[in-house]
């Protein structure tokens, strides 16, 4: 059980890293839009334009 004395502080360090990363992500505006990402995944960006016949 003594390994916990090492692992739990280690887990807390990783937790701190995760919180820092999230704060950075929020600060850089990645979470400003909470509505679009849910639908964005279903939109294809790679439609090929049809062959240009005229114009």
Partner 1 sequence: MSAGTCFHCALPVQRANEFQVEIDGELKSVCCPGCKAVAELIRDTGMSSYYELREAPQPGAGKPADDAADWQIYDRDDMLAAFAETSGATAEATIYVGGMYCAACSWLIETTLAKTTGVSSAEVNPVTHRLRARWLIDKIGLGGILATLSRLGYDPQPLAPESAARPEIAEQRAALKRLLVASLGMMQVMMFAVGLYAGDFQGMEAGMQRFLRIVSFVVTTPVVFYAARPFFAGAWRGIVARMPGMDLPVAIAITAAYVGSIYAMLSGGPAVWFDSVVMFVFFLTLGRFLEMRARHRSIDRSTALSTLLPNTVTKLATDGETIIPASQMLRGDLLVVRPGESIPADGVLTLGATTVDEALLSGEAEPLQKVPGDDLIAGSINLDGLIQMRVDKTGSDTTLGTISRMSERARYARPAFVQVADRIASYIVVAILLIAVIVATSWYFIVPERAFVITLSVLVVTCPCALALATPAAFATAGTRLSDLHLLITNGNAIEALSRANRILFDKTGTLTRGAPAIFSTVVFDDAYDEQQCLQIAAALETVSTHPIASAFSVTANDMLATDQRVVIGKGVSGTVAGRSWTLGRRSFATAGEDASEARATSVYLASKHGLVARFDLDDEIRASARPTLAQLRKLGLSLTLVSGDNAGPVRRVAEALDITESHSNCSPADKLAIIRSAQSSADTVIMVGDGINDAPVLAGADTSIAPVHGALLAQTSADVIMLGESLQPLVDGVLLARKTMAIVRQNLAWAVVYNAVALPLAAMGYVPPWAAAIGMSVSSLVVVLNALRLNRFGAA
Beta strands in 1-55 (DSSP E): none
Residue pair 31/25 in contact by the 8 Å Cβ criterion: yes
Q: Which of residues 13-32 bind partner 1 (CB under 8 A)?
A: 15, 18-19, 22-23, 26-27, 31-32
Q: Binding of partner 1 at residue 36 (CB under 8 A)?
A: yes
- 36-43: which pairs have CB atoms within 8 A and are 24 or more residues apart? none
Q: Note the residues at the interface with partner 1 (CB under 8 A).
A: 1, 4-5, 8-9, 11-12, 15, 18-19, 22-23, 26-27, 31-36, 39-40, 42-45, 47-50, 52
């Amino acid at each position: 059980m003594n390994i916990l004395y090492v692992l739990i502080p280690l887990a807390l360090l990783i937790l701190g890293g995760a919180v820092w990363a999230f704060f950075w992500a929020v600060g850089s505006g990645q979470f400003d839009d909470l509505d679009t990402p849910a639908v964005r995944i279903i939109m294809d960006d790679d439609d090929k334009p049809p062959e240009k016949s005229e114009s």
